[in-house]
Amino acid sequence: MDVDKPAITFPPNVYMVPNVPVEKPGPNWLRVVCISDTHNTTDANNYSIPEADVLVHAGDLTTLGTHAQLDQFVDWIKSLTDIPLKIIIAGNHEVILDKEYYETNWRKFHPEKEDQRAAVDKLRSAGHGIVYLDNESYNVDGAKILYEKSQKHIRVESAIDPRQDWTLGYQIWGSPYQPQVPGWEVKAFSKERGKLHEIWKLIPTDTDILITHGPPQDHGDNHPDDGNVHIGCKELLERLGEVKPLYHIFGHAHRGYGVSQIEWQPELINNGQQFVPLTVCINATTCNVEERPLNMPFVIDLPPK
């Protein structure tokens, strides 16, 4: 990790590898491991992913989004056989996955134009539990995941049938978009500041876990070259305050690696008591500012829902 990072204070049931309990807090809980910005630097020999039920990757899977680099990423993530579900989004470095951007800018990044549609299909049809989201929702069915793990004899902490505990699942929504950063060359899924409102309006209000490539304003959004400059999105923060997801997982700003928590305005619940909604923000960038995979994954334990 970078030496200038502040100490991280962790909310309940959020951990940084290797400080992860062996056992989950209770029967039929889901363990989610969070990473981002791996940039084709990780493999089984140099980066350890703990056993979990769900993997979240918040974009920048590759260096410049060639087919060969996507193949390398898919092969690596397929090798994580102890994790049944892998939810991924693109980032600004996956130039080939942004159809409009690639059509105009492919010459800047690739010696020959590659098949854009086939690149998207590569992720959509990868199998092995890989789910690619592009401004889309996905329901994480904990009962299905845990039951199938038990049938495959992957270690499950409880003998209690998870289908007794899980009814709804967790709603996840993922988007590769982020505001443009002056001076940055690679701008897939990037829009001018002030132009992302329509994208963020797509985030459903019942979202439990939000995944975006870029951070919200003032939360894990330190510029990699100058930690005093913030590159997060103001409009995303505003939408975050409307949706109030339990967790927001992102990357993009390598210097912003860490965990923070937003306390929203108190709300009244049925018995007239005040309830303070919280959103845990996790900048899960794997690569540090030197593009080396030295930042450890974060882990979230989720109770049945």
Please say whether the beta carbons of 26 and 142 come within 8 A.
no
Q: Is 65 helix (H, G, I), strand (E, B) or coil?
A: coil
Sole residue written with tokens 């199938």: 148
Mind giving me the DSSP string for 120-155? HHHHHT--TTEEE-SSEEEEE-HHHHHHHHHHTT--
The DSSP letter of residue 74 is: H
How far is residue 96's CA from residue 114's CA, in Å, rounded to a whole number?
8
* For residue 93, pLDDT beyond 50: yes
Strands 274-275 and 267-268: antiparallel
Q: Is 199 helix (H, G, I), strand (E, B) or coil?
A: helix
Share of the chain above pLDDT 70, in %: 93
Q: What residues does 302 pair with on adjacent strands?
A: 30
How far is residue 240's CA from residue 231's CA, in Å, rounded to a whole number?
16
* For residue 113, pLDDT beyond 80: yes
Note the pLDDT of residue 2. Answer: 42
**How do the domains of the chain map onto residue ranges?**
14-302
| H or E segment and range at residue 173 | strand 170-175
How far is residue 76's CA from residue 43's CA, in Å, rounded to a whole number?
6
Provide mean pLDDT across the span 63-78.
Answer: 98
* For residue 1, pLDDT beyond 50: no
Q: Which of 175-179, 223-227, 269-273 has the lowest mean pLDDT?
A: 269-273
What's the chain's length in residues?
305
Predicted model pTM: 0.93
Provide mean pLDDT across the span 12-33.
Answer: 94
Which is it for the CA torsion 150, 154, 158, 162, positive or negative? negative
Question: Could you tell me the pLDDT band of residue 227, with boundaries at 50, 70 and 90?
Answer: confident
Question: Could you tell me the pLDDT band of residue 3, with boundaries at 50, 70 and 90?
Answer: very low
Provide mean pLDDT across the span 279-299.
Answer: 97
Note the pLDDT of residue 271. Answer: 74
Q: What is the largest CA-CA distance in the chain?
A: 64
pLDDT tens per residue, range 121-140: 999 999 999 999 999 999 99
Provide mean pLDDT across the span 38-58.
Answer: 96
Q: Which of 49-53, 99-103, 264-268 has the lowest mean pLDDT?
A: 264-268
Chain mean pLDDT for the chain: 92
pLDDT tens per residue, range 6-18: 445 689 999 999 9
Note the pLDDT of residue 8. Answer: 59
Note the pLDDT of residue 156. Answer: 53
How far is residue 130's CA from residue 74's CA, in Å, rounded to a whole number?
9
CATH code of domain 14-302:
3.60.21.10
Note the pLDDT of residue 94. Answer: 99
Instruction: Classify residue 245 as exposed, middle or buried by CB count within 10 Å of its CB (0-12, 13-18, 19+).
Output: buried
How far is residue 252's CA from residue 36's CA, in Å, rounded to a whole number?
8
Q: Is 168 helix (H, G, I), strand (E, B) or coil?
A: coil
